[in-house]
Amino acid sequence: MSAVLLALVSASAEVHPHTGTLRKYTHAPPSRYGFSLAGVADEELRQSSPVVRPIPGQRFMSVQDIHCSEDVVWKTVNDLDRYPKMVPGVTHCDTYKKKKTVTGGCVAHARYRIWSGFPLEYFVRHHFEPLKRCMTFSLDYERKSQLSDMVGYWYVEPCADRKWSRVYFSSDSAVPYWMPPTARGFMLRTVQSKNLAWVEKRCNELTGFTGVRRDVIKRRVVAAGLIGIGAWRLRATVSKRGGGPDVE
């Protein structure tokens, strides 16, 4: 047990033992991964919780509409040094290397510390390409992380009305063999269920959006339900009376 605790709290500048065991994401639209939103209405994507669907390769992709421009979403996602204030479970995140790409994007390396029942430290390389509306990330294999491996993907596109942006997220992790199953499950569930909530919250802070449109949608749904119930009761009453209204 003491050896495990020592490994957890010690930061290492050693090279990672491998250069990746998980298949990495590429800068491609979600459809290239076999992802489809067929049968999903816009209102369902605007309910403050993501739609999560499987994609080939035993992975999942989450998608949610956020009331802001693409630029606001990317400003939030790329603000790595602010992650401890925004992302649940992240206790420390600092950028130690950053460079621009010839296409106007950037590659940023950051050190993360998270708490998922145990403290974990790992190093991540983020590659953002705005022309492709995409960011991919994976471990920085030039440094030794306490995660065995991790890869991930962000994609943002404007909705038809240009007032909302559709945000896609997917990731895959290989956790250390010594991590207890309860901590491992907690970490994976957190990544899947909360990966877009913090983005929406921060974007709303930046734009001042209060979610009024969502409330309107919900009220309309409730009102439609009440109208339907009222109509059903009226039909039931007429039926019990032995017919409809008199017709001249």
Residue pair 27/164 in contact by the 8 Å Cβ criterion: no
Phi/psi of residue 234, nearest 5 degrees: -65, -45
Q: How does DSSP classify residue 103?
A: T
Q: Are both 104 and 218 inside the same structural domain?
A: no
Task: Give domain status of residue 56, yes or no.
Answer: yes
- Examine residue 71 and state whether it is found in any structural domain, yes or no: yes
Do residues 33 and 50 share a domain? yes
Q: What is the DSSP string of 161-193?
A: TSS-EEEEEEEEEE--TTS-HHHHHHHHHHHHH
Please count the structural domains in the chain. 2
CATH number at residue 65: 3.30.530.20
Assess if residue 248 is contained within a domain. Answer: no
Instruction: Determine how many CB atoms are found less than 10 A away from the CB of residue 16.
Output: 19
pLDDT in tens, the chain (248 residues): 444 344 444 444 699 999 999 999 999 999 999 999 999 999 999 988 899 999 988 899 999 999 999 999 999 999 999 999 999 889 999 999 999 999 999 999 999 998 877 788 999 999 999 999 999 999 999 999 999 999 999 999 999 988 999 999 999 988 877 777 777 666 666 555 567 999 999 999 999 999 755 544 454 444 444 444 444 343 443 334 444 433 33
Clarify whether residues 40 and 143 are in a common domain. yes
Based on the fold, state whether residues 193 and 231 are members of the same structural domain: no
Does residue 196 sit in the same domain as residue 223? no
Helix axes 197-207, 70-77, angle to 10 degrees: 120
Measured CA to CA, the distance from residue 108 to residue 91 in angstroms comes to 19
The per-residue pLDDT for 187 is 65
16 and 138 inside one domain: yes
The verdict on 33 and 126 lying in the same domain is yes
Do residues 188 and 227 share a domain?
no
C-alpha 205: how far from chain center: 17
Same domain, 99 and 220: no
Domain range enclosing 48: 2-207
Q: Which residues, other chains included, contact 229 with Cβ-Cβ below 8 Å and sequence gap of 6+? A: none
d(CA 248, CA 245): 10
Say whether both 121 and 51 belong to one domain: yes
